[in-house]
């Protein structure tokens, strides 16, 4: 009853300048990510209300030699029917997805995927597989399709010694239904002569 999110959110997509040009100047759509390790399953990824984190991520990709020039695309998004993992009401859905995945993988004689790499577990094969299992289950049972997935991630170093706050904490959104994206924009630079409303 209280799980519906506000109608529209502003979010940001870190990318290479070539992608920025394709989307903003050429009106091409963003392409969904389909990696086995995507944190929220497959789809188009955004940082909710966090242009700075999107910029940092794009800059990290330049260091990794995946991008040439970092850029950020803004988007106005309607989350639609959202698998909101920042709301504990959806945790039972996650547990069911995990149980079904685990049973299916065992029956196939395979190893269950796992999350790995560092304290933040940045390669999230297990989480991706669980979320994809949930989507597959909804489709096979002809249940309502999740348009988006939203998650809160506590990530990065302590903001200060002994802090419970982390430097890369963010809300991430994965859009599965591209019709949720109502428009893209080139984010403006703050006019420092005026206060932010």
Between residues 51 and 155, which one has the greater pLDDT?
Answer: 51
Which residues lie closer than 8 Å to 33 by C-beta, 6 or more apart? 42, 43, 44, 45
Q: What is the pLDDT of residues 157-185, one digit of tens each?
A: 899 999 989 888 899 999 999 999 999 99
Q: Is 90 exceeded by the pLDDT of residue 94?
A: yes
Q: Is 80 exceeded by the pLDDT of residue 4?
A: no
Q: Please count the structural domains in the chain.
A: 1
Q: What pTM, to 2 d.p., does this model score?
A: 0.90
Of 191, 165, 147, 159, residue with least CA distance to 43: 147
| Range 7-22 average pLDDT | 96
* Domain with 94 in it: 9-185
- pLDDT tier at 1, thresholds 50, 70, 90: very low
Question: Is 194 part of a structural domain of the chain?
Answer: no
Question: Is 2 part of a structural domain of the chain?
Answer: no
Counts of helices then strands in the chain (DSSP H, E): 4, 9
């Amino acid at each position: 009853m209280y799980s519906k999110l506000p109608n529209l959110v502003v979010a940001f997509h870190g990318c290479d300048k070539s992608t920025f040009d394709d989307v903003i100047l050429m009106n091409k759509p963003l392409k969904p990510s389909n990696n086995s390790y995507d944190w929220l399953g497959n789809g188009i990824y955004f940082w909710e209300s966090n242009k700075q984190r999107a910029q940092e991520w794009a800059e990290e990709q330049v260091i990794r030699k995946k991008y040439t020039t970092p850029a950020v695309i803004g988007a106005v998004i309607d989350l639609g029917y959202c698998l909101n993992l920042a709301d504990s009401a959806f945790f039972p859905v996650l547990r069911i997805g995990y149980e079904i995945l685990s049973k299916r993988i065992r029956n196939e004689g395979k190893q269950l995927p796992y999350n790995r790499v560092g304290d933040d577990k940045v390669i999230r094969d297990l989480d991706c597989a669980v979320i994809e299992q949930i989507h597959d289950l909804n489709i096979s049972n002809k249940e309502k399709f999740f348009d988006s997935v939203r998650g809160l991630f506590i990530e990065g170093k302590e903001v200060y010694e002994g802090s419970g706050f982390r430097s890369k904490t963010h809300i991430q959104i994965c859009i599965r239904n591209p019709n949720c994206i109502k428009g893209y924009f080139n984010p403006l630079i703050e006019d420092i002569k005026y206060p932010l409303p």
